């Protein structure tokens, strides 16, 4: 592979790639997201390889194992291009027929297309399926179009153009201004304006600065970051390099999950390809800007996703958070200014630079701009990865996209923000997806894991479940968190057994107040949010168990 | 270990590489790491005993993992775990007497749409009802 040494050479490479691609050439995109991988998609891919060979089509049809398509519930999913015919629940036995009928004969295999569970209505093309129809898939939409192992596929769809624009057409301050104007808010949970964080790091006195991708994604029920990182790793990397340029960092870190082989493999390969092509390392694209990235893995504990804990882990130590009276953007890894954003935040950067802040702020609500990826799961018909503009209501996500609650059950509660999030009752379902609106009703979005709970869910038991999780995942460094969760669990366990005592609720509220005020990091500070939320909206469920 | 010689910051990398190949971290290896990386044994022990991925005891030939994430929980993970525990005859965190299986719980592997699920040696068995567990485990000698 030839190193690309200038913006003009990048354009030429893109032209070459596009010229070599025939838009009418058939392609088969088999989903290899976390959901489909668990549904034996590997056997489907192997069957396609064999079948293309035996029908004499090897080399004439592209077969790509892609990142997550989104509709995980109905996997393994297969898309046939150029028509964009969408097949669900594909088994190895279906493959011969798909190749013969659809790829060769241009006919649709009726039994494999999406059929609406309520109306029986069929949808042949991706864009017609209700799950996809109501989304705006700015970040994840390219997953079906590219092979994550091919940098050429990414360059071919316009990849790294934003990086070239930033390096050659903009000063670092201008890049920073654009991100600030776009009002890009951190997608990891806090919703803090990314531009301001970048600026703090840029202006910090230390000369050496770091940028970090937080791909830990330990929040139970969250799987959207790995969907974009596995399926389109260069998108995240491009965002990171642009950020490093704006901030003035020459070293970056990717902190990601160790237990997803495909994710690890795709990130490693993307970094290698980017280096070989002159997009990473010394003198990127001949611009004189140097930047490289090192990969670190979470080693299986939730607290290591917290920013200061994560930085200790990168240093090779235990992930113990520290108080944040000095921000990590001023003093982070080895006490150097370290700007940490999550996967989705970085993935938003290339489009902001390419299309401009004005375009970006045209999407979303007054205070939350752009789109948000949601991982939708729990008691829901269509679980999967969803991407919608901010402002979409929870009702639209649950019913129009998610297809409602299975088994004819009623919706009881919606839970956002994982184990430190909050549950809201069905009556608040018209709340729009918006950082501030959701925080106000008590279901802060967190990283975007939306858990749907049906009428059978015991909310007290859920609060106990979340605290059980957190007691295993806390680092135990500070007393309020370590001891507080334990005491809460004891009381909650009694209440769940129907042995609650008078005064238990008040004791729990008091412990929760102390934990929120005195814990070091957000794990301890917000560990009691599910408890508070359920006490606020479902208090009678506690009271019926107190005697 | 040679590439990390004398680099204390690489402690987690080294432990990870050994853990993923050997599936556990024997005492002699921890001693060797301490020497070669120039990290006190106490700190090696601190890190190795803290992170959940590291194991200081041997694992079974097959590793069963029952997801205890929120989505799996809502879809019946407790019941699934009970049947697995009953069938294998050990509780989560333990290894059976002839070291055929070790059982663990944990979350979240991000395949929430498959819940409740059991993963054996990295292979997912999703939407698993309790009565099908025996049938699945039969395939792992």
Q: So what's the pLDDT on residue A117?
A: 86
On whether the CB atoms of residues A4 and A277 are closer than 8 A, the answer is: yes
Q: Is the pLDDT score of A401 beyond 90? A: yes
pLDDT digits (tens, 9 = 90+) for A456-485: 999 999 999 999 999 999 999 999 999 999
Q: How far apart are CA A49 and CA A236, in angstroms?
A: 30
Tokens coding A53 = 């060979």
For B37, nearest residue in chain A (alpha carbons) = A316
Q: How far apart are CA B81 and CA B107, in angstroms?
A: 13
Q: Which chain B residues contact residue A318 at CB under 8 A? A: 46-47, 50-51
Task: Say yes or no for a CB contact (<8 Å) between A318 and B50.
Answer: yes
CA distance B125 to chain A (A): 7
Q: So what's the pLDDT on residue B2?
A: 82
pLDDT > 90: percent of chain A = 93
Residue A373 touches chain B, beta carbons under 8 Å? no
Question: Taking the mean position of all CA atoms in its chain, how far away is CA A480?
Answer: 30
CA distance A211 to chain B (A): 18
Tokens coding A189 = 């949970």
Residue ranges with strand state E in A50-128: 62-66, 78-81, 85-87, 114-115, 122-123
Nearest to B129 by CA among B65, B82, B91: B82
Tokens coding B6 = 């004398």
Q: Is the pLDDT score of A231 beyond 80? A: yes
Q: So what's the pLDDT on residue A300?
A: 85
φ and ψ of A215, to 5 deg: -110, 30
For A465, nearest residue in chain B (alpha carbons) = B70
ipTM for the predicted complex comes to: 0.93
Tally C-beta pairs within 8 A across A and B.
117
pLDDT digits (tens, 9 = 90+) for A270-298: 999 999 999 999 999 999 999 999 999 98
Q: How far apart are CA A258 and CA A136, in angstroms?
A: 30
Task: Say yes or no for a CB contact (<8 Å) between B16 and A415.
Answer: no
Q: How far apart are CA A19 and CA B84, in angstroms?
A: 55
pLDDT > 70: percent of chain A = 100
On whether the CB atoms of residues A312 and A318 are closer than 8 A, the answer is: yes
Give pTM, 2 decimals: 0.96
Q: Is the pLDDT score of A336 beyond 80? A: yes
Cα angle A302-A461-B115, degrees, rounded to a multiple of 5:
60
Task: Say yes or no for a CB contact (<8 Å) between A316 and B16.
Answer: no
3-state secondary structure A156-185: HCCCCHHHHHHHHHCCHHHHHHHHHHHCCE
Nearest to A469 by CA among A423, A523, A536, A521: A523
Q: Is the pLDDT score of A1 beyond 90? A: no
Residue A405 touches chain B, beta carbons under 8 Å? no
pLDDT digits (tens, 9 = 90+) for B90-140: 999 999 999 999 999 988 888 999 999 999 998 999 999 999 999 999 999
Q: So what's the pLDDT on residue A547?
A: 86
Q: Is A390 helix (H, G, I), strand (E, B) or coil?
A: coil
A343-355 and A233-247 helices, crossing angle to 10°? 70
pLDDT digits (tens, 9 = 90+) for A164-182: 999 999 999 999 999 999 9
Give the number of other Cβ atoms within 10 Å of residue A546's Cβ.
15
pLDDT digits (tens, 9 = 90+) for A21-79: 888 999 999 999 999 988 989 999 999 999 999 999 998 999 999 999 999 999 999 99
Task: Say yes or no for a CB contact (<8 Å) between B71 and A301.
Answer: no
Tokens coding A239 = 């965002």
The residues near A363 (Cβ < 8 Å, ≥ 6 apart) are: A136, A138, A369, A370, A371, A389, A390
Q: Is A384 helix (H, G, I), strand (E, B) or coil?
A: strand
User: Average of pLDDT values for A489-516?
Assistant: 96
Q: What is the DSSP letter of A397?
A: I
Give the number of other Cβ atoms within 10 Å of residue A92's Cβ.
18
Q: So what's the pLDDT on residue B80?
A: 97
């Amino acid at each position: 592979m030839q190193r690309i040494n200038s913006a003009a050479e990048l354009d030429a490479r893109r032209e070459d790639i596009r010229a070599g691609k025939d838009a009418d050439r058939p392609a088969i995109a088999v989903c290899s997201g976390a959901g489909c991988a668990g549904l034996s998609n590997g056997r489907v891919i192997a069957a396609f390889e064999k079948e293309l060979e035996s029908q004499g089509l090897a080399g004439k049809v592209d077969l790509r194992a892609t990142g997550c398509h989104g509709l995980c519930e109905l996997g393994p999913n297969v898309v046939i291009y150029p028509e964009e015919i969408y097949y669900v629940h594909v088994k190895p036995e279906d493959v011969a027929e798909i190749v013969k009928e659809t790829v060769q004969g241009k006919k649709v295999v009726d039994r494999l297309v999406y059929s609406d569970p309520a109306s029986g209505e069929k949808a042949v093309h991706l864009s017609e399926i209700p799950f996809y129809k109501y989304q705006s898939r700015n970040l994840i939409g390219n997953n079906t179009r590219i092979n994550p192992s091919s940098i050429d596929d990414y360059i071919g769809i316009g990849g790294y153009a934003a990086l070239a624009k930033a390096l050659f057409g903009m000063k670092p301050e201008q890049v920073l201004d654009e991100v600030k104007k776009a009002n890009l808010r951190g997608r990891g949970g806090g919703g803090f304006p990314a531009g301001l964080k970048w600026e703090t790091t840029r202006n910090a006195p230390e000369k050496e600065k770091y940028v970090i991708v937080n791909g830990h994604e330990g929040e139970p029920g969250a799987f959207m970051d790995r969907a974009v990182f596995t399926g389109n790793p260069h998108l995240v990397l491009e965002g990171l390099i642009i950020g490093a340029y704006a901030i003035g960092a020459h070293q970056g870190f990717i902190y990601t999950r160790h237990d997803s082989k495909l994710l690890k493999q795709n990130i490693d390969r993307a970094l290698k390809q980017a280096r070989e092509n002159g997009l990473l390392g010394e003198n990127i694209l001949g611009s004189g800007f140097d930047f490289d990235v090192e990969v670190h893995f979470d080693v299986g504990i939730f607290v290591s996703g917290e920013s200061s804990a994560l930085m200790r882990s990168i240093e090779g130590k235990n992930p113990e958070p520290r108080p944040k009276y000095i921000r990590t953007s001023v003093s982070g890894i080895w006490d150097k200014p370290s700007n940490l954003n999550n996967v989705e935040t970085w993935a938003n950067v290339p489009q902001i630079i390419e299309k401009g802040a004005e375009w970006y702020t045209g999407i979303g609500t007054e205070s939350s701009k752009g789109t948000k990826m949601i991982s939708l799961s729990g008691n829901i018909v269509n679980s999967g990865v969803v991407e919608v503009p901010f402002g979409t209501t929870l009702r639209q996500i649950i019913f129009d996209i998610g297809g409602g609650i299975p088994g004819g059950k009623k919706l009881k509660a919606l839970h956002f923000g994982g184990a430190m999030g909050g549950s809201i009752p069905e009556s608040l379902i018209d709340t729009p997806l918006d950082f501030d609106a959701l925080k106000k009703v008590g279901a802060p979005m967190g990283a975007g894991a939306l858990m749907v709970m049906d009428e059978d869910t015991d909310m007290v038991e859920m609060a106990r479940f979340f605290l059980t999780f957190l007691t295993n995942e806390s680092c135990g460094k500070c007393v309020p968190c370590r001891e507080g969760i334990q005491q809460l669990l004891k009381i909650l366990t009694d209440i769940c057994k129907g042995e609650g005592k008078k005064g238990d609720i008040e004791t729990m509220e008091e412990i929760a107040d102390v934990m929120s005020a005195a814990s070091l990091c957000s794990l301890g500070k917000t560990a009691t949010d599910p408890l508070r939320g359920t006490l606020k909206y479902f208090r009678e469920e506690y009271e019926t168990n107190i005697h | 270990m040679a590439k990390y010689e004398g680099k204390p910051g690489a402690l987690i990398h080294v432990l990870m590489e050994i853990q993923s190949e050997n599936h556990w971290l024997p005492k002699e290896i921890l001693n060797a790491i301490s020497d070669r990386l120039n990290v006190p044994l106490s700190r090696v022990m601190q890190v190795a005993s803290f992170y959940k991925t590291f194991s200081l005891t041997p694992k079974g030939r097959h590793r069963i993992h029952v997801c205890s994430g929120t989505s799996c929980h809502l879809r019946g993970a407790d019941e699934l775990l009970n049947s697995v525990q009953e069938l294998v005859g050990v509780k989560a965190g333990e290894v059976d007497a002839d070291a055929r299986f070790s059982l663990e719980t944990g979350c979240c592997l991000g395949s929430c749409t498959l819940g409740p699920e059991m993963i054996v040696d990295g292979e997912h068995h999703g939407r698993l009802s309790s009565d099908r567990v025996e049938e699945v485990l039969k395939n792992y000698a």
